[in-house]
Amino acid sequence: MVVPNPLNAAASGLNTNFNGGSYKNGVSYDILKKLKVVDTYQELLKTRNGFGELSLREVAREAHVSHTYVKKVLDELNSGGGILDPQLNKRQYLKGPGARTLDSHDVACLIILLRQNPSRTLESYRRELLYATVTITSTSTICRFWKNGFQTAANLRKANMVPIDKLKPENIECAVEYIRAVLSLLGSKPTQVCG
């Protein structure tokens, strides 16, 4: 692979990393660079024949990227989803005042999605809502819906603690006797209250 001249890279607004590769701040590498990292990793594994440890820095040197980028690509590869094209991951929906808000059909769809998978991400809700109802919305709108769309807040709160002794048999007997006493006041013969 030909390593770009750092002076030419700087003249075109690019930065150079420690391994001689060029990058632009704030812009992700394309799918070809990701595939190059994977190919380099697999080639280095073949040359080792299963002997010795393969370091991320070694792969980064060969692919002319940072070791953190190599880790990111290998994590993405090992996650089971394969290598994803960064261009497809970019948000492709309208936002701002022109985007639609949620109607009752959208709310029903969101509740169904919640029942299907309660650990779903906001981005997943947004994408599935777009597929199901063709509603274009943002993740922040969905977040606001889950927080403010119901009478109770959807924040994680401490669970109510029921005292351990609340349902002991003697407490249940006391409750039954109390109910009998109240009923006796309403017209029946009075009974003994637990005391």
Tracing tokens 């394969």 back to the chain, one arrives at: 82
Q: What is the pTM of this model?
A: 0.44
Query: In the structure, what pLDDT confidence band is assigned to residue 1 with cuts at 50, 70 and 90?
Result: very low
CA distance 144 to 159: 22
Q: What is the mean pLDDT of residues 170-186?
A: 81
CA distance 32 to 65: 13
CB crowding 60-81: b at 16 or more within 10 Å, else e: bbbbbbbbebbebbeebbeeee
| Each residue's pLDDT tens digit, 118-177 | 888 888 898 898 888 888 888 888 888 888 776 655 555 555 555 556 667 777 788 788
- With 0-12 / 13-18 / 19 or more C-beta atoms within 10 angstroms meaning exposed / middle / buried, residue 50 is exposed
